[in-house]
A and B are shown apart, each in its own frame.
Chain A
Amino acid sequence: MKVWYATRVLFGRSMLHILRSPDTIITVLITPVMLMLLFAFVFGGAIHIGSGNYVNYLVPGIELIAIASGTAYTSLRLFYDRQKGMFARFQTMPVSRASILWAHVLTSLISNAISVVLIIGIAFIMGFRTSAGVLQWLAVGGILALFTLAMTWLAVIPGLTATSIDGASAFAYPLIFLPFISSAFVPTATMPTIVRVFAQNQPVTALVDSVRALFNSTPIGNEIWSALAWCVGITIVAYFIAMRAYRRFQ
Protein backbone atom coordinates (compact mmCIF):
# COMPACT_ATOMS: atom_id res chain seq x y z
CA MET A 1 0.00 0.00 0.00
CA LYS A 2 1.20 3.46 -0.91
CA VAL A 3 0.73 5.04 2.52
CA TRP A 4 2.62 2.24 4.22
CA TYR A 5 5.41 2.32 1.64
CA ALA A 6 5.94 6.09 2.06
CA THR A 7 5.85 5.71 5.84
CA ARG A 8 8.51 3.02 5.63
CA VAL A 9 10.75 5.10 3.36
CA LEU A 10 10.47 8.11 5.66
CA PHE A 11 10.96 5.91 8.71
CA GLY A 12 14.19 4.59 7.18
CA ARG A 13 15.32 8.15 6.70
CA SER A 14 14.80 9.21 10.31
CA MET A 15 16.36 6.02 11.67
CA LEU A 16 19.43 6.91 9.60
CA HIS A 17 19.33 10.36 11.23
CA ILE A 18 19.57 8.75 14.65
CA LEU A 19 22.46 6.51 13.64
CA ARG A 20 24.32 9.54 12.31
CA SER A 21 23.70 11.82 15.31
CA PRO A 22 26.06 10.88 18.11
CA ASP A 23 24.41 13.39 20.46
CA THR A 24 21.08 11.57 20.16
CA ILE A 25 22.67 8.27 21.10
CA ILE A 26 24.56 9.83 24.01
CA THR A 27 21.48 11.51 25.46
CA VAL A 28 19.13 8.65 24.93
CA LEU A 29 21.37 5.84 26.04
CA ILE A 30 24.37 7.05 27.97
CA THR A 31 22.54 9.53 30.23
CA PRO A 32 20.09 6.97 31.65
CA VAL A 33 22.89 4.43 32.06
CA MET A 34 25.00 6.99 33.95
CA LEU A 35 22.01 7.78 36.16
CA MET A 36 21.54 4.09 36.81
CA LEU A 37 25.22 3.73 37.77
CA LEU A 38 25.05 6.83 39.95
CA PHE A 39 21.98 5.67 41.83
CA ALA A 40 23.07 2.06 42.10
CA PHE A 41 26.63 2.65 43.26
CA VAL A 42 26.70 6.16 44.81
CA PHE A 43 23.31 7.04 46.31
CA GLY A 44 21.89 3.54 46.42
CA GLY A 45 23.70 2.43 49.55
CA ALA A 46 22.06 5.23 51.54
CA ILE A 47 18.55 4.66 50.22
CA HIS A 48 16.31 2.31 52.16
CA ILE A 49 13.79 0.53 50.03
CA GLY A 50 13.11 -2.25 52.47
CA SER A 51 14.16 -5.65 51.31
CA GLY A 52 15.48 -6.40 47.86
CA ASN A 53 18.00 -5.44 45.27
CA TYR A 54 18.25 -1.67 44.56
CA VAL A 55 19.12 -2.17 40.87
CA ASN A 56 15.83 -4.02 40.51
CA TYR A 57 14.12 -1.08 42.19
CA LEU A 58 15.76 1.41 39.79
CA VAL A 59 15.20 -0.18 36.41
CA PRO A 60 11.56 0.88 35.76
CA GLY A 61 12.27 4.56 36.53
CA ILE A 62 15.44 4.57 34.43
CA GLU A 63 13.50 3.16 31.50
CA LEU A 64 10.92 5.93 31.80
CA ILE A 65 13.65 8.59 31.89
CA ALA A 66 15.20 7.07 28.78
CA ILE A 67 11.85 7.14 26.99
CA ALA A 68 11.06 10.71 28.04
CA SER A 69 14.41 11.98 26.78
CA GLY A 70 14.21 9.81 23.67
CA THR A 71 10.83 11.14 22.64
CA ALA A 72 12.10 14.71 23.00
CA TYR A 73 14.09 14.04 19.84
CA THR A 74 10.85 13.58 17.95
CA SER A 75 10.17 17.27 18.62
CA LEU A 76 13.61 18.18 17.39
CA ARG A 77 13.44 16.07 14.24
CA LEU A 78 10.04 17.48 13.35
CA PHE A 79 11.20 21.01 14.06
CA TYR A 80 14.28 20.58 11.85
CA ASP A 81 12.17 19.14 9.05
CA ARG A 82 9.97 22.21 9.18
CA GLN A 83 12.86 24.62 9.47
CA LYS A 84 14.97 23.07 6.71
CA GLY A 85 12.08 22.96 4.27
CA MET A 86 11.96 19.15 4.08
CA PHE A 87 8.45 19.27 5.48
CA ALA A 88 7.30 21.60 2.71
CA ARG A 89 9.07 19.45 0.15
CA PHE A 90 7.31 16.29 1.31
CA GLN A 91 3.98 18.05 1.56
CA THR A 92 4.13 19.27 -2.02
CA MET A 93 4.86 15.74 -3.24
CA PRO A 94 2.29 13.04 -3.92
CA VAL A 95 2.95 11.50 -0.50
CA SER A 96 0.19 10.86 2.01
CA ARG A 97 0.30 13.53 4.67
CA ALA A 98 -0.34 10.94 7.35
CA SER A 99 2.89 9.17 6.35
CA ILE A 100 4.97 12.27 6.99
CA LEU A 101 3.84 12.38 10.63
CA TRP A 102 3.51 8.66 11.30
CA ALA A 103 7.05 8.05 10.08
CA HIS A 104 8.26 10.23 12.96
CA VAL A 105 6.00 8.44 15.44
CA LEU A 106 7.16 5.03 14.24
CA THR A 107 10.79 6.13 14.48
CA SER A 108 10.20 7.15 18.07
CA LEU A 109 8.53 3.83 18.96
CA ILE A 110 11.27 1.70 17.41
CA SER A 111 14.27 3.74 18.55
CA ASN A 112 12.94 3.90 22.11
CA ALA A 113 12.26 0.18 22.09
CA ILE A 114 15.88 -0.40 21.11
CA SER A 115 17.20 1.81 23.89
CA VAL A 116 14.87 0.20 26.45
CA VAL A 117 16.22 -3.24 25.51
CA LEU A 118 19.84 -2.07 25.65
CA ILE A 119 19.31 -0.50 29.07
CA ILE A 120 17.76 -3.73 30.38
CA GLY A 121 20.83 -5.55 29.07
CA ILE A 122 23.16 -3.21 30.95
CA ALA A 123 20.97 -3.52 34.06
CA PHE A 124 21.43 -7.29 33.90
CA ILE A 125 25.18 -6.81 33.91
CA MET A 126 24.78 -4.54 36.96
CA GLY A 127 22.85 -7.19 38.84
CA PHE A 128 19.24 -6.74 37.77
CA ARG A 129 17.30 -9.98 38.25
CA THR A 130 13.67 -10.74 37.60
CA SER A 131 11.31 -13.61 38.07
CA ALA A 132 9.06 -12.33 35.27
CA GLY A 133 7.71 -14.92 32.85
CA VAL A 134 6.88 -14.39 29.19
CA LEU A 135 3.48 -12.86 29.94
CA GLN A 136 4.91 -10.42 32.44
CA TRP A 137 7.65 -9.40 29.99
CA LEU A 138 5.03 -8.83 27.31
CA ALA A 139 3.01 -6.72 29.74
CA VAL A 140 6.10 -4.64 30.60
CA GLY A 141 6.78 -4.20 26.87
CA GLY A 142 3.19 -3.16 26.28
CA ILE A 143 3.17 -0.61 29.10
CA LEU A 144 6.47 0.93 28.01
CA ALA A 145 5.30 1.03 24.36
CA LEU A 146 2.10 2.76 25.41
CA PHE A 147 4.09 5.25 27.49
CA THR A 148 6.35 5.88 24.48
CA LEU A 149 3.33 6.47 22.27
CA ALA A 150 1.85 8.95 24.76
CA MET A 151 5.14 10.84 25.14
CA THR A 152 5.70 10.83 21.37
CA TRP A 153 2.35 12.41 20.55
CA LEU A 154 3.02 14.93 23.28
CA ALA A 155 6.39 15.64 21.64
CA VAL A 156 4.78 16.08 18.22
CA ILE A 157 2.92 19.17 19.46
CA PRO A 158 5.97 21.39 20.12
CA GLY A 159 7.64 19.82 17.09
CA LEU A 160 4.87 21.20 14.90
CA THR A 161 4.28 24.50 16.66
CA ALA A 162 7.56 25.72 18.18
CA THR A 163 9.14 28.74 16.58
CA SER A 164 12.62 28.10 17.93
CA ILE A 165 14.79 25.13 18.62
CA ASP A 166 14.71 25.90 22.36
CA GLY A 167 10.94 25.84 22.33
CA ALA A 168 10.94 22.51 20.54
CA SER A 169 13.19 20.87 23.11
CA ALA A 170 11.98 22.61 26.29
CA PHE A 171 8.94 20.40 26.75
CA ALA A 172 11.07 17.40 27.69
CA TYR A 173 12.69 18.91 30.79
CA PRO A 174 9.70 18.65 33.12
CA LEU A 175 9.06 15.15 31.85
CA ILE A 176 12.59 14.07 32.66
CA PHE A 177 12.16 15.46 36.17
CA LEU A 178 8.86 13.74 36.91
CA PRO A 179 10.55 10.42 37.80
CA PHE A 180 12.56 12.17 40.55
CA ILE A 181 9.34 13.14 42.30
CA SER A 182 7.88 9.67 42.13
CA SER A 183 8.53 6.20 43.47
CA ALA A 184 11.20 5.68 40.81
CA PHE A 185 14.25 6.10 43.05
CA VAL A 186 12.98 6.25 46.62
CA PRO A 187 9.78 5.09 48.32
CA THR A 188 7.26 7.93 48.48
CA ALA A 189 6.52 7.25 52.15
CA THR A 190 9.39 9.45 53.41
CA MET A 191 8.33 12.52 51.43
CA PRO A 192 6.58 15.52 53.08
CA THR A 193 2.81 15.39 52.61
CA ILE A 194 2.44 17.82 49.69
CA VAL A 195 5.24 16.22 47.72
CA ARG A 196 3.97 12.76 48.57
CA VAL A 197 0.45 13.50 47.40
CA PHE A 198 1.86 14.78 44.11
CA ALA A 199 4.21 11.83 43.77
CA GLN A 200 1.53 9.26 44.45
CA ASN A 201 -0.90 10.74 41.99
CA GLN A 202 1.28 11.40 38.98
CA PRO A 203 1.62 8.93 36.11
CA VAL A 204 5.26 7.98 36.70
CA THR A 205 4.55 6.41 40.09
CA ALA A 206 1.71 4.33 38.70
CA LEU A 207 3.87 3.23 35.79
CA VAL A 208 6.93 2.48 37.91
CA ASP A 209 4.95 0.53 40.50
CA SER A 210 3.21 -1.53 37.81
CA VAL A 211 6.42 -2.40 35.97
CA ARG A 212 8.16 -3.18 39.25
CA ALA A 213 5.35 -5.50 40.30
CA LEU A 214 5.50 -7.29 36.95
CA PHE A 215 9.26 -7.76 37.24
CA ASN A 216 9.01 -8.99 40.83
CA SER A 217 5.97 -11.18 40.11
CA THR A 218 4.20 -9.53 43.01
CA PRO A 219 0.46 -8.82 42.83
CA ILE A 220 -0.40 -5.81 40.70
CA GLY A 221 -2.95 -3.60 42.32
CA ASN A 222 -5.06 -0.87 40.79
CA GLU A 223 -1.87 0.94 39.86
CA ILE A 224 -1.85 -0.75 36.48
CA TRP A 225 -5.28 0.66 35.59
CA SER A 226 -4.20 4.08 36.68
CA ALA A 227 -1.00 3.70 34.58
CA LEU A 228 -2.95 2.59 31.51
CA ALA A 229 -5.53 5.32 31.96
CA TRP A 230 -2.80 7.97 32.12
CA CYS A 231 -1.09 6.66 28.98
CA VAL A 232 -4.25 6.26 26.94
CA GLY A 233 -5.59 9.62 28.15
CA ILE A 234 -2.40 11.49 27.30
CA THR A 235 -2.19 9.76 23.92
CA ILE A 236 -5.74 10.68 22.95
CA VAL A 237 -5.54 14.30 24.10
CA ALA A 238 -2.07 14.85 22.61
CA TYR A 239 -3.06 13.15 19.36
CA PHE A 240 -6.00 15.46 18.84
CA ILE A 241 -4.03 18.59 19.67
CA ALA A 242 -1.20 17.45 17.39
CA MET A 243 -3.57 16.70 14.52
CA ARG A 244 -5.13 20.12 14.91
CA ALA A 245 -1.71 21.71 14.68
CA TYR A 246 -0.87 19.49 11.73
CA ARG A 247 -4.00 20.46 9.82
CA ARG A 248 -2.78 24.03 9.76
CA PHE A 249 -0.24 22.83 7.22
CA GLN A 250 -2.71 21.40 4.77
Chain B
Amino acid sequence: MTDLAIQVSALRKSFKATEVLKSVDLSVRRGEIFALLGSNGAGKTTTINILATLLKPDSGSASICGFDVLRQPVKVRENISLTGQFAAVDGLLTGRENLVLIARLRGVHSPHQTADMLLSRFGLSAAAQRRADSYSGGMTRRLDIAMSLVGTPAVIFLDEPTTGLDPEGRLEVWKTIKELADGGTTILLTTQQLEEAEQLADHIAILHGGSIIANGTLNELKQHFPPAKVEYIEKQPSLEDIFLAIIGQKGGK
Protein backbone atom coordinates (compact mmCIF):
# COMPACT_ATOMS: atom_id res chain seq x y z
CA MET B 1 0.00 0.00 0.00
CA THR B 2 2.63 2.44 1.03
CA ASP B 3 6.34 2.26 1.02
CA LEU B 4 6.48 4.11 4.33
CA ALA B 5 6.43 2.05 7.51
CA ILE B 6 6.13 5.06 9.80
CA GLN B 7 4.82 8.48 8.95
CA VAL B 8 4.61 11.28 11.48
CA SER B 9 3.57 14.83 10.84
CA ALA B 10 3.33 17.88 13.07
CA LEU B 11 3.14 15.80 16.20
CA ARG B 12 2.70 17.78 19.40
CA LYS B 13 2.47 16.67 22.99
CA SER B 14 2.57 18.54 26.27
CA PHE B 15 2.54 17.27 29.81
CA LYS B 16 0.87 19.94 31.93
CA ALA B 17 2.87 23.08 31.23
CA THR B 18 5.84 21.31 29.64
CA GLU B 19 5.79 21.15 25.88
CA VAL B 20 7.67 17.95 25.13
CA LEU B 21 7.06 17.66 21.40
CA LYS B 22 6.68 20.95 19.56
CA SER B 23 6.28 19.67 16.05
CA VAL B 24 7.79 16.40 15.01
CA ASP B 25 7.82 15.22 11.40
CA LEU B 26 9.49 12.08 10.25
CA SER B 27 9.05 9.23 7.86
CA VAL B 28 10.66 5.82 7.94
CA ARG B 29 10.78 3.52 4.91
CA ARG B 30 10.08 -0.20 5.22
CA GLY B 31 13.07 -2.29 6.15
CA GLU B 32 15.08 0.68 7.36
CA ILE B 33 16.91 1.18 10.64
CA PHE B 34 16.01 4.67 11.74
CA ALA B 35 17.75 6.20 14.72
CA LEU B 36 16.17 8.95 16.74
CA LEU B 37 19.07 10.63 18.42
CA GLY B 38 18.73 13.01 21.33
CA SER B 39 19.80 13.78 24.84
CA ASN B 40 17.78 12.95 27.95
CA GLY B 41 14.42 14.66 27.96
CA ALA B 42 14.48 15.45 24.25
CA GLY B 43 11.15 13.66 23.74
CA LYS B 44 12.38 10.38 22.27
CA THR B 45 10.36 8.15 24.57
CA THR B 46 7.27 10.34 24.22
CA THR B 47 7.49 10.00 20.43
CA ILE B 48 7.86 6.22 20.67
CA ASN B 49 4.99 5.93 23.14
CA ILE B 50 2.68 7.85 20.84
CA LEU B 51 3.65 5.63 17.90
CA ALA B 52 3.13 2.53 20.04
CA THR B 53 -0.43 3.67 20.98
CA LEU B 54 0.43 4.17 24.65
CA LEU B 55 -0.03 7.93 24.56
CA LYS B 56 -2.34 10.20 22.63
CA PRO B 57 -0.82 13.19 20.87
CA ASP B 58 -2.32 16.65 21.45
CA SER B 59 -2.32 17.27 17.71
CA GLY B 60 -0.68 16.08 14.54
CA SER B 61 -0.90 12.65 13.03
CA ALA B 62 1.05 9.43 13.00
CA SER B 63 0.55 6.22 11.10
CA ILE B 64 2.22 2.84 11.10
CA CYS B 65 2.08 0.76 7.89
CA GLY B 66 -0.70 3.06 6.75
CA PHE B 67 -2.79 2.68 9.92
CA ASP B 68 -3.56 5.76 11.97
CA VAL B 69 -2.44 5.44 15.61
CA LEU B 70 -5.53 7.22 16.91
CA ARG B 71 -8.22 5.82 14.65
CA GLN B 72 -6.93 2.28 14.09
CA PRO B 73 -4.93 1.45 17.23
CA VAL B 74 -5.78 -2.26 17.01
CA LYS B 75 -4.41 -2.51 13.47
CA VAL B 76 -1.33 -0.60 14.58
CA ARG B 77 -0.78 -3.00 17.48
CA GLU B 78 -0.93 -5.97 15.12
CA ASN B 79 1.99 -4.49 13.23
CA ILE B 80 4.28 -3.26 15.99
CA SER B 81 6.25 -4.35 18.96
CA LEU B 82 7.67 -2.15 21.67
CA THR B 83 10.87 -2.80 23.53
CA GLY B 84 10.89 -0.12 26.16
CA GLN B 85 13.72 1.59 27.93
CA PHE B 86 13.63 -0.97 30.72
CA ALA B 87 13.36 -4.63 29.85
CA ALA B 88 9.76 -5.78 30.23
CA VAL B 89 10.10 -9.42 31.16
CA ASP B 90 8.12 -11.30 33.75
CA GLY B 91 10.69 -12.18 36.40
CA LEU B 92 8.53 -14.83 38.03
CA LEU B 93 8.22 -16.78 34.80
CA THR B 94 11.01 -18.70 33.10
CA GLY B 95 12.47 -17.41 29.85
CA ARG B 96 10.48 -20.00 27.95
CA GLU B 97 7.22 -19.22 29.76
CA ASN B 98 7.69 -15.53 28.96
CA LEU B 99 7.94 -16.30 25.25
CA VAL B 100 5.05 -18.78 25.29
CA LEU B 101 2.90 -16.18 27.07
CA ILE B 102 3.53 -13.56 24.40
CA ALA B 103 3.09 -16.10 21.62
CA ARG B 104 -0.32 -17.12 23.01
CA LEU B 105 -1.41 -13.51 23.39
CA ARG B 106 -0.36 -12.76 19.83
CA GLY B 107 -2.30 -15.77 18.63
CA VAL B 108 0.74 -17.50 17.14
CA HIS B 109 -0.13 -21.00 15.89
CA SER B 110 2.50 -23.01 17.72
CA PRO B 111 3.53 -21.04 20.81
CA HIS B 112 5.95 -23.66 22.14
CA GLN B 113 7.77 -24.07 18.86
CA THR B 114 8.02 -20.31 18.44
CA ALA B 115 9.43 -20.00 21.95
CA ASP B 116 12.06 -22.69 21.39
CA MET B 117 13.12 -21.18 18.08
CA LEU B 118 13.60 -17.75 19.62
CA LEU B 119 15.40 -19.18 22.64
CA SER B 120 17.99 -20.85 20.47
CA ARG B 121 18.28 -17.83 18.19
CA PHE B 122 19.07 -15.63 21.17
CA GLY B 123 21.40 -18.10 22.87
CA LEU B 124 18.99 -18.60 25.76
CA SER B 125 18.24 -22.31 25.35
CA ALA B 126 20.39 -23.29 28.30
CA ALA B 127 18.61 -20.77 30.53
CA ALA B 128 15.14 -21.50 29.15
CA GLN B 129 13.85 -23.21 32.29
CA ARG B 130 15.30 -20.64 34.67
CA ARG B 131 13.25 -17.82 36.07
CA ALA B 132 13.91 -14.58 34.23
CA ASP B 133 14.72 -12.70 37.44
CA SER B 134 17.91 -14.78 37.69
CA TYR B 135 19.15 -13.56 34.28
CA SER B 136 22.04 -11.14 33.78
CA GLY B 137 21.34 -7.71 32.28
CA GLY B 138 22.40 -8.83 28.80
CA MET B 139 20.33 -12.00 28.93
CA THR B 140 17.28 -10.07 30.16
CA ARG B 141 17.62 -7.65 27.28
CA ARG B 142 17.96 -10.49 24.80
CA LEU B 143 14.85 -12.16 26.20
CA ASP B 144 13.09 -8.79 26.06
CA ILE B 145 13.96 -8.36 22.38
CA ALA B 146 13.09 -12.00 21.65
CA MET B 147 9.64 -11.34 23.18
CA SER B 148 9.23 -8.40 20.84
CA LEU B 149 9.89 -10.60 17.83
CA VAL B 150 7.14 -13.10 18.55
CA GLY B 151 4.66 -13.01 15.70
CA THR B 152 7.18 -11.15 13.47
CA PRO B 153 5.74 -7.63 13.65
CA ALA B 154 6.57 -5.38 10.72
CA VAL B 155 7.82 -2.50 12.85
CA ILE B 156 9.85 -2.71 16.03
CA PHE B 157 10.43 0.18 18.39
CA LEU B 158 13.56 -0.05 20.46
CA ASP B 159 13.82 2.61 23.13
CA GLU B 160 17.47 2.91 24.15
CA PRO B 161 18.04 -0.81 23.69
CA THR B 162 21.60 -0.87 24.97
CA THR B 163 21.32 1.40 28.02
CA GLY B 164 22.80 -0.33 31.03
CA LEU B 165 24.48 -3.11 29.06
CA ASP B 166 28.16 -3.95 29.20
CA PRO B 167 30.15 -3.66 25.94
CA GLU B 168 29.68 -7.34 25.15
CA GLY B 169 25.93 -7.16 25.68
CA ARG B 170 25.81 -4.06 23.53
CA LEU B 171 27.56 -5.74 20.63
CA GLU B 172 25.17 -8.68 20.90
CA VAL B 173 22.17 -6.38 20.72
CA TRP B 174 23.66 -4.50 17.77
CA LYS B 175 24.16 -7.76 15.92
CA THR B 176 20.56 -8.73 16.59
CA ILE B 177 19.26 -5.39 15.33
CA LYS B 178 21.26 -5.70 12.11
CA GLU B 179 19.97 -9.23 11.54
CA LEU B 180 16.41 -8.07 12.07
CA ALA B 181 16.75 -5.29 9.54
CA ASP B 182 18.32 -7.72 7.07
CA GLY B 183 15.20 -9.84 7.49
CA GLY B 184 13.04 -6.91 6.38
CA THR B 185 11.84 -5.59 9.74
CA THR B 186 11.58 -1.83 10.10
CA ILE B 187 13.32 -0.59 13.20
CA LEU B 188 12.92 2.72 14.94
CA LEU B 189 15.45 3.00 17.68
CA THR B 190 16.19 5.80 20.08
CA THR B 191 19.59 6.36 21.52
CA GLN B 192 21.72 8.98 23.10
CA GLN B 193 24.92 7.30 21.99
CA LEU B 194 26.23 8.77 18.76
CA GLU B 195 28.25 5.65 18.09
CA GLU B 196 25.18 3.46 18.22
CA ALA B 197 23.38 5.56 15.63
CA GLU B 198 26.47 5.63 13.46
CA GLN B 199 26.92 1.85 13.68
CA LEU B 200 23.36 0.81 13.00
CA ALA B 201 21.23 3.40 11.33
CA ASP B 202 20.44 3.89 7.67
CA HIS B 203 18.79 7.12 8.60
CA ILE B 204 19.34 9.42 11.55
CA ALA B 205 17.14 12.17 12.93
CA ILE B 206 18.23 14.42 15.74
CA LEU B 207 15.46 15.35 18.16
CA HIS B 208 16.26 18.39 20.20
CA GLY B 209 14.02 20.62 22.28
CA GLY B 210 10.87 18.95 20.95
CA SER B 211 11.54 19.08 17.22
CA ILE B 212 13.70 17.37 14.63
CA ILE B 213 16.64 19.63 13.95
CA ALA B 214 18.50 17.39 11.49
CA ASN B 215 17.44 14.44 9.40
CA GLY B 216 19.22 12.35 6.81
CA THR B 217 21.67 9.55 6.20
CA LEU B 218 24.96 9.69 8.02
CA ASN B 219 26.64 11.00 4.86
CA GLU B 220 24.01 13.67 4.36
CA LEU B 221 24.39 14.78 7.93
CA LYS B 222 28.14 14.97 7.54
CA GLN B 223 27.71 17.31 4.56
CA HIS B 224 25.90 19.83 6.74
CA PHE B 225 28.98 20.25 8.80
CA PRO B 226 32.42 21.62 7.93
CA PRO B 227 34.36 19.24 5.68
CA ALA B 228 36.50 16.76 7.49
CA LYS B 229 40.12 17.70 7.94
CA VAL B 230 42.67 15.02 7.32
CA GLU B 231 44.84 14.57 10.34
CA TYR B 232 47.26 11.82 11.15
CA ILE B 233 46.84 10.50 14.62
CA GLU B 234 48.42 7.41 16.03
CA LYS B 235 45.54 5.04 16.80
CA GLN B 236 45.62 4.03 20.42
CA PRO B 237 43.41 1.13 21.38
CA SER B 238 40.51 2.43 23.41
CA LEU B 239 39.78 0.89 26.75
CA GLU B 240 36.79 -0.76 25.11
CA ASP B 241 39.03 -2.37 22.44
CA ILE B 242 41.29 -3.66 25.19
CA PHE B 243 38.39 -4.94 27.26
CA LEU B 244 36.84 -6.75 24.32
CA ALA B 245 40.17 -8.22 23.24
CA ILE B 246 40.79 -9.69 26.68
CA ILE B 247 37.24 -10.97 27.02
CA GLY B 248 37.43 -12.38 23.49
CA GLN B 249 40.43 -14.53 24.44
CA LYS B 250 38.35 -16.11 27.12
CA GLY B 251 36.41 -17.63 24.23
CA GLY B 252 33.04 -16.71 25.70
CA LYS B 253 30.15 -15.58 23.60
- A interface, CB within 8 angstroms of B: 2, 5-6, 9-10, 13, 16-17, 20-21, 84-86, 88-95, 249
Within 8 A of A (CB), among B86-136: 86-93, 97, 101-102, 104-107, 131
Chain A residue at minimum C-beta to C-beta distance from B83: A89
Question: Footprint of A on B, CB under 8 Å?
Answer: 52-54, 74, 77-78, 80-82, 84, 86-93, 97, 101-102, 104-107, 131, 147
Cross-chain pairs A/B with CB under 8 angstroms, 9 sampled: A13-B93, A85-B87, A88-B52, A89-B88, A89-B102, A89-B147, A90-B105, A93-B102, A249-B54
Query: What A residues does B53 contact at CB under 8 A?
Result: 91-92
A78 to chain B, nearest CB (A): 14
Q: Report whether A92 and B81 are in contact in the complex, using a CB–CB cutoff of 8 Å.
A: yes
Q: Is B90's CB under 8 angstroms from A92's CB?
A: no
* Beyond known contacts A13-B90, A89-B147: 16 more, CB 8 A cutoff: A2-B107, A5-B104, A9-B101, A9-B105, A84-B86, A84-B90, A84-B91, A85-B87, A86-B90, A88-B84, A89-B84, A91-B53, A92-B80, A92-B82, A94-B106, A94-B107
Shortest Cβ distance from residue A4 to the other chain B in the assembled complex, whole angstroms: 13
Q: Are A85 and B92 in contact (CB under 8 A)?
A: no
Give the chain A neighbours of B80 by CB distance below 8 A: 92
A-B contacts counted at CB < 8 A amount to: 61
Pair B88/A93 contact, Cβ less than 8 Å = no
| Closest Cβ neighbor of B148 among chain A residues | A89
- What chain A residues lie within 8 Å of B87 (beta carbons)? 85
Instruction: State whether B78 touches A94 (Cβ < 8 A).
Output: yes
Task: Tell me whether A93 and B93 are in contact (CB under 8 A).
Answer: no
- Most B C-beta atoms less than 10 A away, residue of A20, A21, A88, A249: A88
Contact B84 A17 (CB under 8 A): no
In the bound assembly, the distance between CA atoms of A134 and B106 in angstroms comes to 43
Residues of A with C-beta under 8 A to B77:
92-95
Which residues of chain A are near B82, meaning CB under 8 Å? 88-89, 92
Q: Are B92 and A16 in contact (CB under 8 A)?
A: yes
Tell whether A85 pairs with B102 under 8 Å between CB atoms, given A91-B54, A92-B77, A94-B78: no
- Taking CB atoms, residues of chain A closer than 8 Å to B93 are 13, 16
In the complex, the chain A residue whose C-beta lies closest to that of B79 is A94
Report the separation of the CA atoms of residues A90 and B102 in the bound assembly, to the nearest whole angstrom: 9
Bound-state CA distance A88–B87 (Å) is: 11
B92 and A20 contacting across the interface, CB-CB below 8 Å: yes
Docked complex Cα distance between A93 and B88 (Å): 13
Minimum CB–CB distance from B97 to chain A (whole Å) comes to 8
Say how far B41's CB is from chain A's closest CB, in angstroms: 19
Measured CB to CB, the closest approach of chain B to A117, in angstroms, equals: 24
Closest to B147 in A: A89
Picked from B52, B88, B106, the residue with its CB within 8 Å of the CB of A84 is B88
CB of B92 within 8 A of CB of A21, answer yes
Contact B92 A93 (CB under 8 A): no
Determine the chain B residues whose CB is within 8 A of the CB of A92 once the complex forms: 52-54, 77, 80-82
Quote the shortest CB–CB distance from B205 to chain A (angstroms). 22
In the complex, which residue of chain A has the Cβ closest to the Cβ of B87? A85
